Amino acid sequence: MGVTDILLAIVGISILVIVHETGHYLAARAFGMRVLEYSIGFGPTLLKFQPKDSPTVFKVGAIPFLAYVRIDGMNPQDEVDPEDPAIYPNASVFGRIVTIAGGPFANYLAAVIFAFGIGLAGWPGWAYSLIESPVVIGQVVDDSAAAEAGLQVGDKIIMANGVANPTFQELIMATTPRADQETEYRVLRDGEELSFMITPRRASEEDSRGKIGVAQAGSEPFTIEKAARTSVIYPWRLTVLQLDGIADMFKKRSTENIGGPVAMGEMVGRAAKQGASHYFAMLMLLSVALGLFNLLPFPALDGGRLVFLGYEVITRRRPNEKFETIVHTVGLLFLLGVLVLVTFRDIFS
């Protein structure tokens, strides 16, 4: 990657983290919690500002990458005054739940805004594979299984291996495991429903994924209504796909699809080279991924903290603070270890 691509990657990832931390900040302040620091970047402070009558010091660090907020009383080392209503432990359980969930929610909201803006800007191509249904064939690859079976440009695929009116992504998912297996596809052509038995072919000798050899047709530019609809549906479908990926990772017991900051930076950098639409679409995808990852019920993540808060709601008593601190510390060390290993793999692979 060139210098410009690296800078765009840093800016893009930092924006997503700033959005996340802003979600925590706004939720905490909405419930009257005292936020001591809101910092963009790390290291020695270059700039700082504290508004009049505000408890928060806003800072910009010498290393303007990522961000963090410090909510009074949230750190186990903070001194806690049981009579102070402005510290995290003394807030209502609902307020603490909203504060913890505020970060992931902000990432999902950012993804919705990205999706809406991209659609209105006339860059709807990124959404076709997950939104447009049924699939309209825009190209049939020569000598492919689809060409051999007689599929044509303009055909609407209304059923693929039992999946009715599939999106292109659903078509891929229905076809991928069917390599070398005869599979039924139904299309609508000139108002007539036709049935085809097609045997998807392996992508290559090394790749066992099934493919029939069709590409999706484009679509008309988005209206405001369609952009709004897509902006809600698309992040949700991305979430489902990412959950499927996580489940598949555990099933295969493989970490090859896990990427650290280096891999994320490379993805954003490559997208930037392809243009603004790809760059913002990648930020949208990563914003969903960041929100989802933080909601996973794992210690040290927002989802892990929500598990303890859920315990408090159900039992109406707080979990042992020392135990919770130990659990989150162990989880944080584990995540840092995984991050280091993944980063080394991304750099030297």
The CATH number of whichever domain residue 168 belongs to comes to: 2.30.42.10
Kindly state whether residue 124 falls inside one of the protein's structural domains: no
Q: Is the pLDDT of residue 152 over 80?
A: yes
- Residue 300's domain comprises 3-102+296-348
Confidence of residue 126 (pLDDT cuts 50, 70, 90): low
Question: Based on the domain organization, do 96 and 163 belong to the same domain?
Answer: no
- What's the pLDDT band for 42 if we cut at 50, 70, 90? confident
CA atoms within 13 A on the CB side of 32: 8
> Is the four-CA dihedral 76, 79, 82, 83 of positive or negative sign?
negative
Question: What's the pLDDT tens digit per position in 21-40?
Answer: 999 999 999 999 999 999 99
Structure confidence by residue, pLDDT tens digits, 299-345: 989 999 999 999 999 999 999 888 988 999 998 898 888 777 777 77
- Asked if 40 and 81 sit in the same domain, the reply is yes
Is pLDDT above 90 for 218?
A: no
pLDDT of residue 220: 63
Residues 35 and 97 in one domain: yes
More confidently predicted of 67 and 127: 67
Q: What pTM was computed for the model?
A: 0.77
The residue out of 192, 216, 240 marking a domain boundary is 216
Cα–Cα separations (whole angstroms), residue 201 to 179, 207, 328: 5, 10, 47
Residues 90 and 147 in one domain: no
279 domain-assigned? no
How confident is the model over 206-210, as a mean pLDDT? 81
- My answer on whether 138 and 98 are in the same domain is no
- Please give the tally of structural domains in the chain: 2
For the cut 80, the answer to whether the pLDDT of residue 129 exceeds it is: no
**Residue-level pLDDT at 22:** 95
- Contact between residue 104 and residue 288 where contact means Cβ atoms under 8 Å apart: no
Give which of 9, 286, 293, 279 is closest to 126, Cα–Cα: 279
pLDDT more than 70, % of the chain: 91
**Of the residues 197, 216, 235, the one at which a domain ends:** 216
Assigned domain for 59 exists: yes
Domain boundary, last residue among 216, 234, 262: 216
